[in-house]
Amino acid sequence: MITKWLHRFGIPSDAAYVAALASIAGSIVAWAWRNDENAPNAERLGIFIGLWAPTFMLIGNSLKSEEVAGREHGEELTGISRGLQQAVEPSARKIDDAVGNFMEQEKSGSRARSSA
């Protein structure tokens, strides 16, 4: 239910994966910044923060399956995902056009070489 709600708001699965990596990094930082008088508390805090990573990974996997199911049914992207797609799409089109032009030049160049 939570993943369906997150999916409707357009939260991409990559956000959950980034949160998992941030949880791991935060755990290491919390553990590394411990001081001598509060070392056990810092270690417990590091463990506590590190335990969030599997939860975020599970949420990311659930969101990924929602994204795949939505694409299979022709569902449009919403929220943040749509904004990301709109930001990346012009660059992707330029790259596709450049690759297409390069491939056409290669084909015409190989034809000219084979006829010569």
pLDDT for the residue 75: 60
For tokens 């590091």, the residue is 46
What was the pLDDT predicted at 26?
Answer: 93
What is the structure's pLDDT at 78? 58
pTM of the model: 0.58
Give mean pLDDT in consecutive 10-residue pieces for the chain, a chain of 116 residues.
79 91 94 80 88 94 85 62 66 80 78 59
Residues 6 or more apart from 16 whose CB is under 8 A from it?
A: 56, 57, 59, 60, 63
